[in-house]
Copies of this chain bind each other. A is one copy, B any other.
Amino acid sequence: MIRVSVLYPNNVGSTFDMDYYLGTHMPMLRKKMGAALKGMTVDQGISGGQPGTTASNRVIATLMFDSLEAFERAFGPLASEIQADIPRYTNIAPTVQISEVKM
């Protein structure tokens, strides 16, 4: 199983429309990726490890797939459409990471 993490760093001056993200962007991904997508999460940063500190990332989203190949098959044809939607909810350039789920 692999997890694709999309991290939106908490830059000064950043904007993020969580309503659009939860109501339009993520449902679009879910619909278009279909059965290849095994799970998705969206977290909104509250703080760093200590109360009152700033979260490093404003938002962290994850998508799960059975394998790297399954992700590439599902994401490849949608990549430009998904990327074109990003400016509709944020001015942050996200950092993407692909990981193997170990636990």
Contacts and interface: CB of A to CB of B under 8 A. Distances in A.
A70 interface: no
A100 interface: yes
A65 to B, nearest CB: 12
A36 interface: no
A3 B43 contact: yes
A26 interface: yes
B60 A97 contact: yes
A103 B41 contact: yes
Contacts of A96: 48-49
Interface of A: 2-5, 7, 18, 22, 26, 40-49, 51, 55-57, 60, 68, 72, 95-103
